[in-house]
Structure 1
């Protein structure tokens, strides 16, 4: 990693428990690879259930004092953490790009995105207001206060190695909770770099603990977090299948649970749309992170009146992409995270073609090999195609023609997921109708990029529970307590 100019201080190579950098007791480690090149980036401790229990115990003990700190004190630490992220933006972006594969420009953007959550919750920490409730009895006074729930177990994905950590940790610490984080096995280096900066920012020992582990150990670490009676809250971002398992495990101790699960986002372009704007928004929404985002457009529905124009202009823009190692200047499309991801894209493409689809560009693994797939656009996709039923999580845009608004809504809502949905229309009446009828937690109208710190991020149906970010993001890390004063 030295050849990339990254300071060794941001590459501790160890787990972080109770403010101490530790190794797995037997010295067991797992490898972290660059998905673009296969290069070994480093090895980190492969922790298991025992170390997780230790971290939980530390976090629980530390919670007894951390919860007593003032909101102003917590805000100061969060703001300092944000400043350190931005001061180290270039180095952190390189770490992120090397282990995740996304272009360096996107990596820099994600670090800025991460810092925004620490800024936001530095302010929101001081706004965890309660209520004085008008009393029906003259001799009583009724008050509602908000208190931190306790230890929060956080499980984050590989597609946003820094952003998803920030969105959870910032809210948890602002509320007064302590945390135990299990980062994704593909991208633990960003988490450990953030832990290093947390220490510099003044986060007390035991407040933020990081438990890296390999894929074989992930189940036992997750189960330990979910079933420990000392953990009061679980926040998970990942697949719906894993989310359902976590819900079952967390039910054993009746924890608070919030989840941001899989998506299958519809992206609708109506006849009334500004087609050029729709093309621009679709490019951003579909291909950011090589299509590996939960809010990525997955089912692209184009009304017949603008279908040909949109297909032509959209495919022309996709053909301009520069595919390659995200560390190389000018690259706009990086690799998929691993070979499993590539095989899924390949399967979806083959199925779409078997169901009558026509390749407008791409359509096969890239000549760069390994984890690279050509940015692909397929038109005339049938409603029977598997890509309309499953989230691809890759650089495949499947274009479906529709006739009426009612037909588009029916197709969009014919799905068990409901994270995000998008549509383009210049008809204000249509905009209201469609936004209200889409069965999703978030709607982008004439906009393909909707994520930011100030909005409540989350979905409905099998796309999750709870919300992250915004003023509502503190709710899942706090409990309401009702206090009745009698004898007045």
Structure 2
């Protein structure tokens, strides 16, 4: 049925300028790849091969550097990718804009029907994609599957949204006039995502921006290109089944040059960027220079405050996942645990005991709760940060070591004894280290929560309702996510996700975040035969 709906709106797109299509390359001198191992034959069910083109503009290509994707659990090569170059980026932009002429003409509910099919296609490959996220990024399998499920859920959300987003009809002060708001798509949306969530953040942007009438250009992290390719192949199949131009969702792999090209191009009115604060600052400057819009989802130095009346069992259970989950590689990971002095020693004791029960191993194995860091560089950052914390007087309560095994494994680490304003505490390090801080009053703890540059996620554990409303109010947490009696991780898609201050101010997924992907017009219609001016001005 969906194919019949859209066939009448399809126009054949020319591919201009011409570009050399991808040709298979063979590198017999290189070591064997995991994709060639029968154990990983499932990778080919996602359309992946030994050598993969790393750019898609309606056709697959790639004329950039040949790179290899590695598994962080053992540092073995998975498969090769030929990245895109500046010419391939031009192909993506040109064809993405051409596809917009078709896509924007479709009524929003019909766009929603296509997004429903995208969600269904992703759901059919849920476990396979989840395994790929785990293999290439390093998070445990339940988290890998959960990340893809989040994309599916956002598609479901966007289907309903396609029949709901609307402006307002406002009272006009002039007789015979109507004042209203009209929302329209902005065009080609650029999305740059990070390694730690190689699927979900693109999904937040993709599903919502599509139903708003935009086309997409996606650049994933250079170290997780296979996730980008596999997802794009699924999207391609749905657009082609509906007789729509597959360049509605283009994709390019590559490094800094490609990212800079996206941020500087005036044909991309909105750039959504997920990554570090320093990189996000550069993106914001470049996009603002050309008067474009940016949506930034940057770092977080998140805190859990444990008030004296907190439920200690809930605190410990929450902190284990919030601090050690994903090996500390979530932007919402708890970096600071601010504990009332009356509970300080008990919680450290119980948290150390819980850490000792975390099962560490291959993230694809059943029962594993903690996998590797994504890269060798992250291991070095871990080692350097632990040493710095000790130099500043920090005490290692648990962990602190690199594990002697294949892959990028380190111990989840608890450090106490540092001042709240110590340099290492004030800085986000994207590794599994949590700093325990001892506080005397809730007001003091809130001040410490707010003193860091970032403002992403925060949580307060308390049983006192007056504390809850203080925490949520004007003099409470200054973060974009303000939780009570739950950890800092685990946001739901129905609420807008994002943070304040150096976190960038962007909002994705639910609530009214759809407005960022559209332009608003205030429209006045005169249905009378008179021409009264506003404010009663007479000009006759």
Query: In which range does the TM-score fall when normalised by the shorter chain?
Result: over 0.9
Aligned equivalent of 2:350, options 289, 313, 323: 313
The answer as to 2:191 corresponding to 1:151 is: no
CA distance in 1, matches of 2:527, 2:302: 56
Structure 2 CA distance, aligned partners of 1:471 and 1:384? Answer: 35
1:439 paired with 2:478, answer yes
Q: In 1, Cα distance between the equivalents of 2:515 and 2:347?
A: 42
SS at match of 1:231: coil
For the pair 1:467 / 2:507, whether they are aligned, the reply is: yes
> In 2, distance between residues paired with 1:374 and 1:141?
64
Report deviation, 1:95.
Answer: 0.8
- Distance in 2 between residues matched to 1:65 and 1:424, nearest whole Å: 51
8 Å Cα contact 1:103-1:326 kept in structure 2:
yes
* Counterparts of 1:219 and 1:87, CA distance in 2: 33
- Residues 1:8 and 2:44 are matched in the alignment: yes
Matches within 5 A, 1:165-244: 165-202=202-239, 204-213=245-254, 218-244=255-281
Please say if residues 61 and 84 of structure 2, whose CA atoms lie closer than 8 Å, have aligned partners that are also in contact: no
Deviation of 1:398 (Å): 1.4
C-alpha separation in 1, matches of 2:129 and 2:194:
17
CA shift at 1:16, angstroms?
A: 4.3
SS for the counterpart of 1:126 is: coil
- Partner residue of 1:106? 143
For 2:400 and 2:57, the matched residues in 1 are separated by: 49
Superposition deviation, residue 369 in structure 1: 5.0
> Could you list the per-position Cα deviations for residues 345-384 of structure 1 after superposition, in whole angstroms to 9, with x for gaps in the alignment?
2222222222332222211111225511111112223335
2:215–2:249 CA contact under 8 A, matched in 1: yes
- SS of the equivalent of 1:127 reads coil
Query: Would you say the 8 A contact 1:303–1:401 is kept in 2?
Result: yes
Higher relative contact order (CA 8 A, sep 6+): 1
Q: 1:266, 1:48 → 2: CA distance?
A: 40
Aligned match of 1:333: 370
Aligned residue among 57, 60, 72 for 1:21: 60
Residue correspondence of structure 1 range 82-481 to structure 2 within 5 A: 82-202=119-239, 204-213=245-254, 218-368=255-405, 370-436=407-473, 437-448=476-487, 449-481=489-521
User: Is 1:43 matched up with 2:83?
Assistant: no
* Contact 2:269/2:292 (8 A) holds in 1: yes
Which portions of structure 1, spanning 4 or more consecutive aligned residues, are displaced by more than 4 angstroms?
Answer: none
Q: Tell me if the contact between 1:457 and 1:469 (Cα under 8 Å) persists in the aligned partners.
A: yes
1:165–1:191 contact (8 Å) kept in structure 2? no
Partner Cα distance (1:435, 1:471) in 2: 18
TM-score, with structure 1 as normaliser? 0.95
For structure 2, which runs of at least 5 residues remain unmatched after alignment?
A: 1-34, 529-540
Classify the secondary structure of the residue corresponding to 1:55: helix
1:42 Cα deviation from its structure 2 partner: 0.8
C-alpha spacing 1:333/1:478, structure 2 compared with 1 (3 Å): same
Give me the whole-angstrom Cα distance separating, in 2, the residues matched to 1:423 and 1:286: 15
Q: Quote the Cα distance in structure 2 between the aligned partners of 1:81 and 1:288.
A: 29
Larger radius of gyration: 2
CA distance in 2, matches of 1:201, 1:317: 45
Measured after TM superposition, the shift of residue 174 of structure 1 is 1.4
Aligned residues of 1:182 and 1:211 also touching (Cα < 8 A): yes
Give the SS at the match of 2:42: coil
Tell me how far 1:412 sits from its aligned partner.
Answer: 1.1
Shift of 1:7: 4.8
Query: C-alpha distance in 2, partners of 1:55/1:42?
Result: 23
Q: Retained in 2: the 8 A contact 1:281–1:447?
A: yes
Following the alignment from structure 1 to structure 2, what is the Cα–Cα distance between the partners of residues 184 and 346?
24
**C-alpha distance in 2 between matches for 1:460 and 1:250:** 19
Distance (whole Å) between structure 2 residues aligned to residue 313 and residue 357 of structure 1: 19
Q: CA deviation at 1:421?
A: 0.8
SS of equivalent residue, structure 1 residue 249 = helix
Following TM superposition, by how much is the alpha carbon of 1:252 offset from its aligned partner in structure 2, in angstroms?
A: 2.7
| Greater displacement, 399-408 / 269-278 | 399-408
Query: How large is the RMSD of aligned CA atoms in angstroms?
Result: 1.5
Aligned residues of 1:149 and 1:477 also touching (Cα < 8 A): yes
SS of residue matched to 1:6: helix
Aligned length: 482
In 2, are the aligned partners of 1:324 and 1:368 still within 8 Å (CA)?
no
SS at match of 1:172: helix
TM-score by length of 2: 0.86
* 1:86-108 Cα distance to aligned partner (Å, 9 max, x none): 22111111111111011112111
Matched residues in 1 for 2:238 and 2:485: separation? 39
